[in-house]
Amino acid sequence: MRTGIKVQLYNSFTRKKEDFHPIEDGKVQFYMCGPTVYDYIHIGNARAFIVFDVLRRFFEFSGFEVTYVLNLTDIDDKIIKRAADEKTTTEQIATKYAKAFLEDLKAIGVRSPTFTPRATEHLAEIISLIETLISKGHAYESDGDVYFSVKTFSQYGKLSGKKTDELRSGARVEVDDKKRNPLDFALWKKQKLGEPFWESAWGKGRPGWHIECSAMSTKFLGQTFDIHAGGSDLIFPHHENEIAQSECASGKKFANYWLHNGFLQIEGDKMSKSLGNFRTVQEVLAKYSSQTLRMFFLQKHYRSPIDLTEEGLYAAKSACSKLNVFYQKLQQKLQAQAVAQQENDQQMDVQKYRSDFTAALSDDFNTPVALSVLFALVRDSKSLLEQDKVTASQFDFLNDVKKFFDSANEMMAIFSESSIQNEDELASKLIDLSIEIRNNLRAKGDWELADKIRDYLADVGIALEDKQKRTVWRMNSSENIKKT
C-alpha cells in the first residue's frame, strides 16, 4: 500500500530537484552500478552502496515495491591483469572477489539486491545489443573490435555536460588507429593472446565495460526504467556511454532519474595506494561497527563530498552509542511497566517527529536532517526515562517513540535493537578496572607496573589525573571527566 508520501530527488541529468513519478504506480525500478570484481572494495565504494541501500529502504517504507538491480563486472582489463599477476584464471579472480564483495555488503548492513547479474552470464544479451547497434548504423566492426560511433548520437554529453569538440581536442582521449573517431568507445574487444574469450560474429573476444551495464539493466528493468545510481566518478564516461548506446539501440529514454553520490577523501587527500591511505571496507570494519560506518556516511548529505577521518568515525561511533543507550533504556522502561496513576502530565506526541523525519528523507534524501530529528526526540524524551514511574499517557508516548525508532532503524540500520550491553559501557568498566588495579599496585609500591598501565591508557587516548583520594580519567577528545 502506498502511504501518499511525495518524494523529491535531485536528478543529475536535469541538475535540479524533481518530484519522483515512477513509470508504474507503486513500483520503483532501481539500477545500481556494482564493482569490477578484481579486488576488495574500498571505503569509497561503500558510501554508494550504503546511501542507496537506505534510499531503497525508504522507498519500501513508503509503500513502493522496489526492484533493485546491482550488477557485477566479472570480465574486464583489471581482472585480466590481476589474473596474470597472480598466475591464475580470470574466473578464479572474479569468483574470489565477487564472494568477498557480497560478504562485505552483508557486513555493512546492505540488503540483498533483487537481482545481482554478472556480465559473463549475459553474453547473449550483450552480443544481441551490439548487433542491434551495428544494424542501426551506430556501431562498426574494425579488425575484430566493435566500436560505438559517437557522432551518430547528437546528444552525446547531455548527462556530463561535456562537449564533443572539447573532448576530441583534449589529451584525455585515447588514440587508437582502429577507430573512425577518437571519441568512439569499445563495445567488443578482440581477444589478445592468453585472454579469455567468447565467440561472436566478429570473432573471438569479450564485451566492453559500458555495454555490459546497458544489457543487464534493460534485461531486468526494461528499456526505460526509473532510477540509475552510482558514484560521481561514473558520470563520465561510463554513464554517458550507457545513455548513448542504450538510447540509440531502443530509440527510447534510458533512465528517468540519475542519482550520484559525492566523492570521498581520506584525511583531506584523494585515496590512493601510492599515498598509503587506501582503505578497504574490511580494514575499517576491523575497528568500527557497520552501524558506525553507516552513521558516518548518513550524517552527510549523499551528494556532498565527505572526508574520512578518525575523528569523524569516532564522532559517528559516539552518535551510535547515544542512540543505543537511549533505545536500551527505552526498552527497559517499557518492560518495567511502572505506570503512575495521576494523569495531569503534559501531552506529548511522536507524530511531529515522524513527519519531520519523513519530510527530510522525502526532500532529496536529506539524511543529516532526518538524523537530527531522531536526536531531538532523544533529547525531548530523555527525562521520562529517568522517572521512577510514568503516567499512562507518557507510557503510550514512549511506546510510540519505540515504534518510530524501530521504523527509522529499519531504514538506516544505525543502532542495535537488541538489549545487549552497550560497548561504551563495557569500555568504561574496563577502564575503571584498570585504574583500580593501578591504584592497588601504587599502594603496594609497584610504581613501574602502575606507570605501564597509565602509559598504555594514554596511548589509547585515555588521560589519568591522580587526586588526593581518587583518580579521574577522561578521553583526550572529550572535556568530560569521570571519577573512579
Angle at 215 between CA 212 and CA 217, to 5 degrees: 100
Check residue 22 and give its pLDDT.
97
Is residue 308, in this structure, part of any structural domain at all? no
> What CATH number did the domain enclosing 352 receive?
1.20.120
pLDDT in tens, 372-407: 999 999 999 988 888 888 888 889 999 999 999 999
How many structural domains compose the chain? Answer: 3
Query: Following DSSP, what letter does each residue of 351-390 receive, concatenated?
Result: HHHHHHHHHHHHBT--HHHHHHHHHHHHHHHHHHHTSS-B
User: Is residue 475 over pLDDT 70?
Assistant: no
Domain limit, last residue, from 286, 312, 341 = 286
Check residue 455 and give its pLDDT.
86
Task: Please tell me whether residues 260 and 353 are part of one structural domain.
Answer: no
Task: Please tell me whether residues 474 and 365 are part of one structural domain.
Answer: no
Containing domain of residue 396, as a range? 324-412
- Are the CB atoms for 317 and 304 separated by under 8 Å? no
User: What contacts 265, CB < 8 A, 6 or more positions away?
Assistant: 271, 305, 306, 307, 308
Check residue 483 and give its pLDDT.
42
Average pLDDT over residues 178-201: 95
Task: Please tell me whether residues 268 and 406 are part of one structural domain.
Answer: no
Distances, alpha carbon 74 to alpha carbons 67, 88, 117, in Å: 22, 15, 10
Is residue 178, in this structure, part of any structural domain at all? yes
pLDDT in tens, 303-362: 999 999 999 999 999 999 999 999 988 998 888 876 766 555 666 789 999 999 999 999
Task: Please tell me whether residues 336 and 280 are part of one structural domain.
Answer: no
Task: Please tell me whether residues 329 and 389 are part of one structural domain.
Answer: yes
Identify the residue whose cell numbers are 513527519.
355
Task: Please tell me whether residues 379 and 273 are part of one structural domain.
Answer: no
Mean of all residue pLDDT scores within the chain: 90
d(CA 458, CA 450): 13
Is residue 457, in this structure, part of any structural domain at all? yes
Is residue 317, in this structure, part of any structural domain at all? no
Is residue 167, in this structure, part of any structural domain at all? yes
- Are the CB atoms for 187 and 179 separated by under 8 Å? no
Task: Please tell me whether residues 184 and 273 are part of one structural domain.
Answer: yes
Q: How large a percentage of the chain has pLDDT more than 90?
A: 71
Query: Following DSSP, what letter does each residue of 4-37 receive, concatenated?
Result: ----EEEETTTTEEEE---SSTTEEEEEE---BS
- Are the CB atoms for 255 and 224 separated by under 8 Å? yes
Question: Hey, what amino acid is at 43?
Answer: I
Is residue 1, in this structure, part of any structural domain at all? no
Domain limit, last residue, from 412, 443, 469 = 412
Residue bearing the bigger pLDDT, 421 or 133: 133
pLDDT in tens, 231-271: 999 999 999 999 999 999 999 999 999 999 999 999 888 88
Average pLDDT over residues 397-419: 89
d(CA 205, CA 199): 7
C-alpha cell at 43: 571505503
Check residue 343 and give its pLDDT.
59
Task: Please tell me whether residues 277 and 375 are part of one structural domain.
Answer: no
Q: Has this prediction a pTM greater than 0.75?
A: yes
Domain limit, last residue, from 412, 447, 463 = 412
Average pLDDT over residues 117-141: 98
Task: Please tell me whether residues 392 and 427 are part of one structural domain.
Answer: no
Task: Please tell me whether residues 126 and 203 are part of one structural domain.
Answer: yes
Task: Please tell me whether residues 389 and 478 are part of one structural domain.
Answer: no
Torsion of CA 181, 184, 186, 189, to 10 degrees: 0
Cis peptide before 237 (omega within 30 of 0): yes
Task: Please tell me whether residues 433 and 404 are part of one structural domain.
Answer: no
> What CATH number did the domain enclosing 170 receive?
3.40.50.620
Is residue 300, in this structure, part of any structural domain at all? no
Is residue 31, in this structure, part of any structural domain at all? yes
Check residue 424 and give its pLDDT.
55
